[in-house]
A and B are shown apart, each in its own frame.
Chain A
């Protein structure tokens, strides 16, 4: 049995070690009702669905799966602006504490139940209690069915992001029976344009059957529709080249192959890359130097974002030192000149701050961040900063990173500028554990102004001022913003949405 022991231990070790680190043709036709022309759509998504229960699902890569089965109250456009779906229109009260929505009355769940205001309230209550979906409803006091096709959302305080989060994927409506039975995770029942087909193989390939007479049938001219999760980029491209897919989550290799294959490529900003400072006030012994704005500014001047986009990002991405997605509300182009790369300025600022010989710092490191490790070491070396990397795995990285004064960060961004203010600047998150705003009264004051400003241009102007302040104060050392890429055959186009790692079916259009 010695062999068995050795083999079992080796196999188990391999499994534990890994712990430390999913075809169709494109024939055209007509839909079941004999109406609009339809096209086969086979999507290669990067990840499997998290859960068919919208309360347990992620927003990230779940878009195509969930949007096939469920109708949302709201969706978002490419700019992250809420758009009507089951909610036809809405109104925000003067005190910003009540949102009243008018609902469609022609939607029906696949089990035959009708959609109405009571069902909407039941769904929203379900989502508010959901482990993952509750993030969107932190400021909700209650949901109310005003009449059969009207609901009111009562807030404990003004919330400028709730409609955005609902549009991103937090307002899917579920059939009452399935909610009550608690069976959504296994058997999803929505009022969406498709139902989950029997031929689906969980984790491998999901087939969807088109619902005849769906209220928005024209927006979903895909039949048959399949979504295949597969996280291997090479396999995804092989499937695309082999004709099994006609839309995939792509990469630089796919972008390079696109012209020869007549593929469409669309890219959208998704994450910022740089150094996150978790001790901006120098509260810890190791983080003491970062309490001096000159040190933080030096770390902004020292890194050449464009060079990193060209080398590590293979030319894909945007060099900037802001956390607001480039060319969206809140982003100020002129701010990119504040910390133009200059090692001389960086060294001078460090010397001015009393760190001419640098300082010692320990930072965490995990495999996903290793592409930037060498350049951090090299740049810090030039500045005399002696860095010790503590190796960890990705799972642990999120837990341990806040314990260090700074760390290499790849952080998801939002299209909604108020959401950016909340998530990146004002509220504690794992990647911003100590916002330290209390030590920056001017920034705190501006955050308050942003949250109370009239939504629209006035608020955007205040957000830009806030962005200017945090950039001047070197709240982050942002090197660049990276993109997500979607590659499709020439029959389809995709509109990326910042905040959604893979768009929903509503963002996929048939060409022509």
Chain B
């Protein structure tokens, strides 16, 4: 298949198909023009493509219920394409012309790699096209899928994955997580908020879809579970093993009042003022330090609840200790105290459960390990938000003090579900700091959500990679992606429009099916 250069118009190269080309090259495809006379090569990306009828036949004949001449039904493909990569040797500061009547052909994988400018290491995705409400994978002349390599650095510049339910965002996130675990030898911490989305990644994916199998073969990959895989779940919540979650990889956890960061407890507080929220950790810190010195580290959260209740009865004046260790006193309003007591009582069963493990950063920052914190279920979000905040502090601290060199990826799936309480919002607030400093500490965050407005304000500015599966086009446009409403509406499952960090030429892509944790119905 070949196309002939007509010339340039409004900064785009215009081409028309040759006779041997019997279809429309979809938008997003790549074309290569080679000039044998100069040895120059130009790689173009199709920006607009349409059908044209060179003989402009009259509709009269068909209107009279007569069949038309087949010869009149010949069509051509007219293309407008951007020059995305020029390869030439000239050194005079000028840019080569692309002469009219030059011949263009579909680019090879190597040429697309050149055009995209990505490296060779990173998760591979399929370059896709979008035309007339149809998504297709880009292929070269031999029919092989064209792939693109997402840069590894993308992880540490934060990623937003958006899409409606069933559009493919969780599957894509799983794919990225497995890559991070296996190929980057990193540690992944994922928060599972819904069903068993992330709870079966120890099992190889299963599909009978030949297209998926072909995609895996193209990548030289096969379905496999994540080997070092642990699901942590609150001791007060039973994990749903009826959905074939492997019991052996599940670990009951609890919060340890002796070690928990006082700031993490603000995750418990709902319906109280910001000032009270600021005072509460200092009240807890004072009590925690006192217990540590008096009881050799053996005390329970129940004892703190009792301590606070007694304080309320004795005038609501509490000794405090700030993070620098300065002591003081604070008097809380009665209504605030009542609220705090209610919240503490609600959280009692998060702490000090026998037979449950207290986890910290050493459980998470393990190379090649994927850790899932399951917060689906009653009270799960509150528990998760306290735990996550505590863990985030510890992980950042461990990285700051160079106790760990393991790359870290944090995945917040269904942000909109996790974000619906004050407590979890607090936890996400801590992610802001991580997002801004993640690159240097090698900590990455993937936010997965149905709507980008679910992301805490301010975070959107530090997210450098945006991947939109089928969702609201206006949201995507507000984040700088060039996509029309129709194009967004026509994205099939697994296909996405994207703005990838350091890979600006990749616009439409398809993620392979994750090798683990996806089970298609037979």
A and B found bound together: no
